[in-house]
Protein backbone atom coordinates (compact mmCIF):
# COMPACT_ATOMS: atom_id res chain seq x y z
CA UNK A 1 0.00 0.00 0.00
CA UNK A 2 1.37 3.40 -0.99
CA UNK A 3 1.34 6.27 1.49
CA UNK A 4 0.46 9.76 0.32
CA UNK A 5 3.51 11.95 0.13
CA UNK A 6 2.21 14.39 2.76
CA UNK A 7 1.76 11.65 5.35
CA UNK A 8 5.21 10.29 4.57
CA UNK A 9 6.75 13.74 4.81
CA UNK A 10 5.00 14.39 8.12
CA UNK A 11 6.12 11.09 9.57
CA UNK A 12 9.72 11.73 8.51
CA UNK A 13 9.59 15.26 9.95
CA UNK A 14 8.07 14.08 13.24
CA UNK A 15 10.68 11.35 13.55
CA UNK A 16 13.54 13.76 12.97
CA UNK A 17 12.00 16.29 15.37
CA UNK A 18 11.73 13.68 18.11
CA UNK A 19 15.25 12.44 17.42
CA UNK A 20 16.70 15.93 17.73
CA UNK A 21 15.79 16.04 21.42
CA UNK A 22 13.60 19.15 21.44
CA UNK A 23 12.66 20.05 24.97
CA UNK A 24 8.94 20.55 24.65
CA UNK A 25 8.65 21.62 28.29
CA UNK A 26 10.72 24.67 27.32
CA UNK A 27 9.55 25.21 23.74
CA UNK A 28 5.78 25.29 24.30
CA UNK A 29 5.80 27.93 27.10
CA UNK A 30 8.43 29.91 25.19
CA UNK A 31 6.21 30.03 22.10
CA UNK A 32 3.25 31.12 24.23
CA UNK A 33 5.24 33.89 25.92
CA UNK A 34 6.74 35.10 22.63
CA UNK A 35 3.31 35.28 21.00
CA UNK A 36 1.99 37.10 24.06
CA UNK A 37 4.79 39.66 23.93
CA UNK A 38 4.38 40.14 20.18
CA UNK A 39 0.63 40.72 20.72
CA UNK A 40 0.78 42.97 23.80
CA UNK A 41 3.16 45.56 22.38
CA UNK A 42 0.86 46.47 19.42
CA UNK A 43 -2.08 46.59 21.84
CA UNK A 44 -0.18 49.14 23.91
CA UNK A 45 0.56 51.09 20.74
CA UNK A 46 -3.15 51.21 19.93
CA UNK A 47 -3.63 52.89 23.32
CA UNK A 48 -0.84 55.39 22.55
CA UNK A 49 1.39 54.32 25.46
CA UNK A 50 4.58 55.39 23.65
CA UNK A 51 5.51 57.40 20.57
CA UNK A 52 6.72 56.10 17.20
CA UNK A 53 10.44 56.87 17.77
CA UNK A 54 10.19 54.92 21.03
CA UNK A 55 8.88 51.82 19.27
CA UNK A 56 11.57 52.12 16.60
CA UNK A 57 14.25 52.46 19.27
CA UNK A 58 12.92 49.46 21.17
CA UNK A 59 12.86 47.40 17.97
CA UNK A 60 16.43 48.32 17.03
CA UNK A 61 17.78 47.79 20.54
CA UNK A 62 16.01 44.45 20.95
CA UNK A 63 17.23 43.27 17.56
CA UNK A 64 20.83 44.30 18.26
CA UNK A 65 20.80 42.63 21.68
CA UNK A 66 19.22 39.50 20.24
CA UNK A 67 22.06 39.23 17.73
CA UNK A 68 24.57 39.42 20.58
CA UNK A 69 22.76 36.83 22.70
CA UNK A 70 22.23 34.56 19.70
CA UNK A 71 25.91 34.69 18.86
CA UNK A 72 26.85 33.95 22.47
CA UNK A 73 24.42 31.02 22.61
CA UNK A 74 25.94 29.57 19.45
CA UNK A 75 29.45 29.20 20.82
CA UNK A 76 30.33 25.57 21.41
CA UNK A 77 31.42 25.95 25.04
CA UNK A 78 28.35 28.01 25.92
CA UNK A 79 25.87 25.79 24.07
CA UNK A 80 27.10 22.74 25.96
CA UNK A 81 26.74 24.43 29.35
CA UNK A 82 23.67 25.48 31.33
CA UNK A 83 24.00 29.03 30.00
CA UNK A 84 23.21 27.91 26.43
CA UNK A 85 19.47 27.38 26.88
CA UNK A 86 19.18 30.53 29.01
CA UNK A 87 20.85 32.64 26.32
CA UNK A 88 18.65 31.02 23.68
CA UNK A 89 15.51 31.87 25.65
CA UNK A 90 16.68 35.48 26.01
CA UNK A 91 17.34 35.54 22.25
CA UNK A 92 13.81 34.42 21.40
CA UNK A 93 12.23 36.85 23.87
CA UNK A 94 14.20 39.75 22.39
CA UNK A 95 13.17 38.74 18.88
CA UNK A 96 9.54 38.73 20.08
CA UNK A 97 10.00 42.25 21.45
CA UNK A 98 11.52 43.41 18.15
CA UNK A 99 8.68 41.88 16.12
CA UNK A 100 6.08 43.32 18.50
CA UNK A 101 7.64 46.78 18.25
CA UNK A 102 7.61 46.64 14.46
CA UNK A 103 3.97 45.54 14.52
CA UNK A 104 3.26 48.40 16.93
CA UNK A 105 4.19 50.86 14.20
CA UNK A 106 1.25 49.59 12.16
CA UNK A 107 -1.23 49.75 15.05
CA UNK A 108 -0.14 53.11 16.46
CA UNK A 109 -2.92 55.68 16.47
CA UNK A 110 -2.01 59.30 16.00
CA UNK A 111 -3.21 61.38 18.98
CA UNK A 112 -4.72 64.07 16.76
Task: Give every CB contact of residue 80 below 8 A, 6+ residues apart in sequence.
Answer: none
Dist CA 91 CA 82 (whole Å): 15
The per-residue pLDDT for range 24-81, each reduced to its tens digit, is 888 899 999 999 999 999 999 888 888 889 999 999 999 999 999 999 998 888 888 8
Query: What is the residue extent of each domain of the chain?
Result: 23-107
- Could you tell me the CA-to-CA distances from 88 to 26, 49, 97, 111 in Å, in that order? 11, 29, 14, 38
The per-residue pLDDT for range 66-110, each reduced to its tens digit, is 999 999 998 888 888 888 889 999 999 999 999 999 999 998 887
User: Which has the closest alpha carbon to 66: 96, 111, 22?
Assistant: 96
Amino acid sequence: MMMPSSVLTFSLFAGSFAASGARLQIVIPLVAVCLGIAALIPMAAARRKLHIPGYVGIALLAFALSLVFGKLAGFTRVAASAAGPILSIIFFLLIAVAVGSILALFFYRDPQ
